[in-house]
Chains A and B, each alone.
Chain A
Amino acid sequence: MSEVTETFGPYGGRYVPETLIPALDELTRAWETAKRDPAFQAELDELGRTYVGRPSPLTRADRFAPGKRLYLKREDLNHTGAHKINNALGQVVLARRLGKQRIIAETGAGQHGVATATACARFGLECVVYMGSEDMRRQAPNVERMRLLGAEVEAVEFGTRTLKEATSAAIRDWITNVGTTHYVIGSCVGPAPYPELVRELQSVIGREAREQLLEVEGALPEVVVACVGGGSNAIGMFAAFLDDAEVELVGVEAAGAASLGAGRAAVLHGARSSVLADEDGQIVDAHSISAGLDYPGVGPEHAWLRDTGRATYLPCTDDEALAAFARLSRTEGIVPALESAHALAVVEGLDADYVAVCLSGRGDKDLAEALAALAAG
């Protein structure tokens, strides 16, 4: 198993220090067993229904997109306010099967940190969340929430002080405490088996959405849209539609963090993917007003979907995202996360009438940052 090289065409793999290889092998075995175990699936379904609030609704958004049939998959209505809880709960349940008592996570916008802290509180596990100090400033309410939930939030004061450094710090913690600790990675990134594991745990989004869309429209949408930072809500949304060749898949990246649009093949955080890197392979700083998209890498499966042409990835500027953030609030009474606002921003320009967007999270956490930017703009 440790001979795994690449997972998604030429992307993926396990570019990590030897210390972690046995733990990745162990995780792979536990996951292979769990996904075939009806009791595991039943536990996740039960948690989804009674704790998260699944299935999340599908909302038609006529005032936001006049003349189109736009549907929003409402992951913002999940417990903790984003899709991140799907993955965090699944991995924490898996960690309990592995007998791990300590959980670590990285977080950018704070949504994954909150989701992981929540899952740990629910199951009585120790939780440490690494977060760049710049992101702690931008997402202060989430820092307070994590602490209230009993998690320890470790400020990362290195480099850009954002998600990239937080992820490196979490991986270093895991290298140090691998015997007792499970690392709940927050996106479909990292060494195998994480990209596949996270996709499978998030694929509930697409499965539900596909069924709901068929029920209401009697047909599949022309286009499915989701924002892409690491890419977990997008891969979860896309997963159910991959085999529906007639459905166009569109990922939307922050223009200043367009790992797929402007990146090159490189190695970051344990995987080969499309990364913002220079010609020497050194990682370049990303920029986005949205902390959740402010990451120079992306899940390796997205790089493969791009190369094979199955999905298309578009850029969205901070200003475009802010405009969509304000517009959805005014027209539909829904305050989206800045991350999700990127996906909303491209809808108007799509040459399609029937569109589904994954509204990956709610925007409460972004109010201060977004209102300040809108006032300045």
Chain B
Amino acid sequence: MRKALVIYLVAEPETPELARAAVEAGADVIELGFPFSDPLADGPVIQRASERALGRGMRTARCLDCLAETRALLNDTPIVPMTYAALLEAYGWERFAADAHSSGASSLIVSDVPAGQRPELRRVHLVAPTSTDERLRLAASTTDGWLYLVTLTGTTGARAELSSALEELVERTRRVADGVPLYAGFGISTPDQAAGAAALADGVVVGSRAVQVAEDGPQALAAYVASLRAALDER
């Protein structure tokens, strides 16, 4: 079965073109980061990218425009805004969800609103190696389409090795997830790591490295995404 490749990009004026390049090179889902000034789940690359995007005026309304522009270029590819509670709190939780969906979002990810809180907000839940089985079950039963498996205890960003915690997390989650697709992210940057994670999970999420490569433009991003796609397909 084809393994899903999720590419994370921070919303900036160039992002719709970058997202198109990523999808044409083999990305199946685009995660669109709406920047927050104090992103607790993120490592240095996404922190700095967020700071830069905010400096360029990428506030919530502009991010929603960016989402709509990206949607217009991508046909049916799912786009999932990923952000923090602070933005929803300011914009209005229901209004944010409604406007994101009308701008073309397929779902949402809110990094600092764990499963069980704000149950009325449909979103993709994250689970982590520290999650208890009870929490894995709660997240799996309430998630929107797929589960985001955080491969490691830590923040986003490239690591030298694929996390050894992923295997156990996949096993524990499979036991309670009842067929929900499991996509692994955090710390995945190389084609080898992507292939390794995809051997366990149903898909992979690549963020920080994609954000870095995207700084060199759509062609560079396309080449990078193609290398990830090839590694997933060759497994």
Contacts and interface: CB of A to CB of B under 8 A. Distances in A.
B98 interface: no
B89 interface: yes
B114 A2 contact: yes
A189 to B, nearest CB: 13
Interface stretch (B35-43, B195-203, B208-216): B35-43
B85 interface: yes
A12 to B, nearest CB: 12
Nearest to A297: B38
Given A18-B125, A175-B41, A281 B112 contact: no
Interface in B6-59: 36-38, 40-41, 43, 47, 51, 54, 59
Interface residues of B, number: 42
Nearest to B47: A158
B153 interface: yes
A282 B37 contact: yes
Contacts of A158: 47
Given A175-B154, A267-B112, A269-B38, A18 B86 contact: no
Nearest to A24: B114
Interface in A54-99: none
A168 B86 contact: no
A177 interface: yes
B114 to A, nearest CB: 5
Interface stretch (A248-256, A272-280, A298-306, A362-370): A272-280
Q: Which of B38, B59, B112 has the most CB of A within 10 A?
A: B38
A15 interface: yes
Contact of B135 (A2, A265, A268): A2
A193 interface: no
Nearest to A6: B117
A147 B166 CA distance: 37
Given A17-B40, A21-B114, A280-B87, A176 B135 contact: no
Given A175-B155, A280-B60, A281-B91, A18 B126 contact: yes
B135 to A, nearest CB: 7
B135 A18 contact: yes
A21 B150 CA distance: 14
B153 A280 contact: no
Interface in B125-161: 125-132, 135, 139, 150, 153-155
Majority SS of interface residues in chain B? loop
A270 B113 CA distance: 9
Given A178-B153, A179-B153, A282-B59, A17 B114 contact: yes
B116 interface: yes
Nearest to A176: B154
Interface residues of A, number: 41
Interface in A1-31: 2-5, 13-23
Contacts of A171: 40
B183 interface: no
B86 A14 contact: no
A281 B37 CA distance: 9
A159 B47 CA distance: 10
B84 interface: yes
Contact of B116 (A3, A20, A177, A178): A3
A257 to B, nearest CB: 16
B117 A3 contact: yes
Contacts of B125: 18
Contacts of A19: 128-130, 150, 153-154
9 contacts: A2-B116, A5-B118, A17-B40, A18-B135, A267-B86, A272-B89, A280-B60, A281-B91, A283-B86
Given A17-B41, A23-B130, A281-B91, 19 more contacts: A3-B116, A5-B117, A5-B118, A15-B112, A16-B114, A18-B114, A18-B128, A18-B150, A19-B153, A22-B131, A22-B132, A22-B135, A158-B47, A168-B40, A179-B130, A267-B86, A280-B87, A280-B90, A282-B59
Interface of B: 36-38, 40-41, 43, 47, 51, 54, 59-61, 84-91, 111-118, 125-132, 135, 139, 150, 153-155
